[in-house]
Amino acid sequence: MQRPTGSTEGLRRSNTGAVLRALRRLGPSTRVELAKDTGLAKATVGVIVADLEAAGAVAEEGSRPGVRGRPGRPVALRGERFVTLGLELNVDYVSAVVLDLAGDVVSSSSRPGGTTADLRELAGTALAEHVGTDSTLVGAMLAVPGLVRGDNRTVAWAPNLHVTWPDVADTLGSLVPGRRIEVSNDANCAAYAESHHGAATGAAHALYLTGTVGIGAGIVQDGEVMRGGAGFAGEVGHMPVGDSTALCGCGRRGCWEASIGLHAMLAAVAMTELDTPLRTAEAVAARALTDAGVRSGLERVGRDVGLGIAMLSSVLDPEVVVLGGYFAPLGDLVLEPARRTLDERLASAVQVRPDLRTSTLGIQAAALGAAEQSFGPVFAGERELTA
Amino acid sequence: MQRPTGSTEGLRRSNTGAVLRALRRLGPSTRVELAKDTGLAKATVGVIVADLEAAGAVAEEGSRPGVRGRPGRPVALRGERFVTLGLELNVDYVSAVVLDLAGDVVSSSSRPGGTTADLRELAGTALAEHVGTDSTLVGAMLAVPGLVRGDNRTVAWAPNLHVTWPDVADTLGSLVPGRRIEVSNDANCAAYAESHHGAATGAAHALYLTGTVGIGAGIVQDGEVMRGGAGFAGEVGHMPVGDSTALCGCGRRGCWEASIGLHAMLAAVAMTELDTPLRTAEAVAARALTDAGVRSGLERVGRDVGLGIAMLSSVLDPEVVVLGGYFAPLGDLVLEPARRTLDERLASAVQVRPDLRTSTLGIQAAALGAAEQSFGPVFAGERELTA
DNA sequence: GACATTAGTACGAGTCTCGTACTTAATAGT
DNA sequence: ACTATTAAGTACGAGACTCGTACTAATGTC
Lowest mean pLDDT across A81-85, A112-116, B72-76: A112-116
Protein residue minimizing CA–C1' distance to D4: A69
| Residues A234, A118 within the same domain | no
Alpha-carbon distance B230 to B147, whole Å?
Answer: 9
CB-CB: which of A39, A235, A352 is closest to B347? A235
Average pLDDT estimate for A103-122: 93
Q: Read off the pLDDT band of B3 (50, 70, 90).
A: low
Residue B176 has pLDDT above 50, yes or no: yes
Alpha-carbon distance A276 to B85, whole Å?
Answer: 59
Q: Name the closest residue on chain B to residue A348, using Cα atoms.
A: B157
Residues 6 or more apart in contact with residue A157 via CB below 8 angstroms: A146, A147, B348, B349, B350
Residue B349 has pLDDT above 80, yes or no: no
* Per-residue model confidence (pLDDT) at position B1: 38
- B37: amino acid identity, one letter: D
Mean pLDDT of chain B: 93
| Residues A178, A209 within the same domain | no
- CA A75, distance to chain mean position in Å, is 27
Give alpha helix (H) positions in A273-364: 277-288, 292-316, 327-330, 332-345
Strand runs (DSSP E) across chain B, as ranges? Answer: 58-60, 75-77, 82-89, 93-100, 105-112, 136-144, 147-148, 155-157, 181-185, 206-211, 215-221, 224-225, 320-323, 355-358
Give alpha helix (H) positions in A154-272: 165-175, 186-196, 256-260, 262-269
3-state secondary structure of B208: strand
A42 nearest nt, CA–C1': D9
Whether A195 is in a domain gets the answer no
| Residues A60, A182 within the same domain | no
The model's pLDDT over A178-199, given as tens digits with 9 standing for 90+, comes to 788 999 999 999 999 999 999 9
User: Cα-atom radius of gyration of chain A, to the nearest Å?
Assistant: 22
CATH assignment at residue A60: 1.10.10.10
CB-CB: which of A2, A4, A230 is closest to B317? A230
Q: Do B239 and A44 touch (CB under 8 A)?
A: no
Element (H, E) at B8: helix B8-26
Torsion over CA: B369, B375, B376, B377 (sign):
positive
Whether B315 is in a domain gets the answer yes
Alpha-carbon distance B380 to B13, whole Å?
Answer: 9
DSSP state of B72: P
| Residues B316, B247 within the same domain | yes
The model's pLDDT over A325-369, given as tens digits with 9 standing for 90+, comes to 999 999 999 999 999 999 998 767 778 899 999 999 999 999 999
B30 nearest nt, CA–C1': C7
Whether A282 is in a domain gets the answer yes
Alpha-carbon distance A335 to B169, whole Å?
Answer: 42
Question: Chain C: nucleotides under 7 Å from a protein CB?
Answer: 4-12, 14-21, 24-28
Q: Read off the pLDDT band of A2 (50, 70, 90).
A: very low
Residue B216 has pLDDT above 90, yes or no: yes
Distance in angstroms between the alpha carbons of the first and the last residue of chain B: 25
Protein residue minimizing CA–C1' distance to C4: B69
| Residues B66, B153 within the same domain | no
Q: Which chain B residues 46-75 have CB under 7 A to strand D? A: 47-48, 63, 65-71
* Per-residue model confidence (pLDDT) at position B169: 78
Shortest distance between the Cα of B175 and any Cα of chain A, in A, equals 30
Answer whether A93's CB lies under 8 Å from A107's CB. Answer: no
The model's pLDDT over A70-106, given as tens digits with 9 standing for 90+, comes to 998 999 999 999 999 999 999 989 999 999 999 999 9
| Residues B342, B256 within the same domain | yes
Q: Read off the pLDDT band of B167 (50, 70, 90).
A: confident
Q: Do A232 and B1 touch (CB under 8 A)?
A: no
Which chain B residues contact residue A241 at CB under 8 A? 240, 311
Q: Domain end: B17, B47, B77, which one? A: B77
| Residues B165, B50 within the same domain | no
Which chain B residues contact residue A232 at CB under 8 A? 317, 350-351
Alpha-carbon distance A131 to A100, whole Å?
Answer: 10
Which chain B residues contact residue A244 at CB under 8 A? 244
Whether A387 is in a domain gets the answer no
Q: Do B350 and A204 touch (CB under 8 A)?
A: no
Q: Name the closest residue on chain B to residue A218, using Cα atoms.
A: B315
Q: Read off the pLDDT band of B2 (50, 70, 90).
A: very low
Q: Read off the pLDDT band of B67 (50, 70, 90).
A: confident
Lowest mean pLDDT across A181-195, A224-238, A338-352, B68-82: A338-352
Whether B33 is in a domain gets the answer yes
Alpha-carbon distance A29 to B360, whole Å?
Answer: 53
Residue positions counted in chain B: 387
Whether A95 is in a domain gets the answer yes
CA distances from residue B236 to A30, A74, A192, A316, B49 in whole angstroms, order as listed? 46, 48, 25, 9, 44
3-state secondary structure of A151: coil
Q: Do A317 and B204 touch (CB under 8 A)?
A: no
Query: Over pLDDT 90: what percentage of chain A?
Result: 81
What is the span of the domain harbouring residue B150? 82-190+366-379
CATH assignment at residue A133: 3.30.420.40
Residue A44 has pLDDT above 50, yes or no: yes
Q: Do A317 and B147 touch (CB under 8 A)?
A: no
* Per-residue model confidence (pLDDT) at position B387: 66
Tell me how crowded residue A291 is: count the other CB atoms within 10 A of its CB.
Answer: 15
- Residue A346, Ramachandran bin (φ over 0: left; ψ between -120 and 50: alpha; else beta): beta
Q: Do B315 and A40 touch (CB under 8 A)?
A: no
φ, ψ at B30 (rounded to 5°): -80, 165
Distance A32 CA to D14 C1' (A): 23
Q: Name the closest residue on chain B to residue A205, using Cα atoms.
A: B229
Instruction: Quote the crossing angle between the two packed helices A165-175 and A116-130, to the nearest 10°.
Output: 20
Protein residue minimizing CA–C1' distance to C6: B69
* Per-residue model confidence (pLDDT) at position B170: 80
Q: β-pairing, A136-144 with A147-148?
A: unpaired
Strand runs (DSSP E) across B222-311, as ranges? Answer: 224-225
Average pLDDT estimate for A54-82: 90
User: Which of A1, A2, A3 to mutate against chain B (most B CBs within 10 Å)?
Assistant: A3
Average pLDDT estimate for B265-289: 96
| Residues A340, A214 within the same domain | yes
Residue B231 has pLDDT above 60, yes or no: yes
| Residues B34, B125 within the same domain | no
The model's pLDDT over B295-335, given as tens digits with 9 standing for 90+, comes to 999 999 999 999 999 999 999 999 999 999 999 999 999 99
Element (H, E) at B293: helix B292-316
Whether B60 is in a domain gets the answer yes
The model's pLDDT over B193-203, given as tens digits with 9 standing for 90+, comes to 999 999 999 99
Alpha-carbon distance B315 to A384, whole Å?
Answer: 34
CA distances from residue B305 to B223, B270, B338 in whole angstroms, order as listed? 24, 18, 6
- Exposure string of B90-103, with b = 16+ CB inside 10 Å and e = fewer, is beebbbbbbbbbbe
CB-CB: which of A147, A240, A318 is closest to B348? A147
Q: Do A204 and B235 touch (CB under 8 A)?
A: no
Alpha-carbon distance A284 to A81, whole Å?
Answer: 44
Whether B2 is in a domain gets the answer no
Among candidates A216, A209, A245, A189, which has minimal Cα distance to A368?
A189
The tally of domains found in chain B comes to: 3
| Residues A335, A375 within the same domain | no
Lowest mean pLDDT across A279-293, B26-40, B60-74: B60-74
φ, ψ at B140 (rounded to 5°): -150, 145
Residues 6 or more apart in contact with residue A318 via CB below 8 angstroms: A203, A205, A206, A207, A219, A220, A312, A354, B228, B229
Distance B178 CA to C20 C1' (A): 34
CB-CB: which of B1, B204, B233 is closest to A317? B233
Alpha-carbon distance B183 to A207, whole Å?
Answer: 27
Alpha-carbon distance B192 to A356, whole Å?
Answer: 31
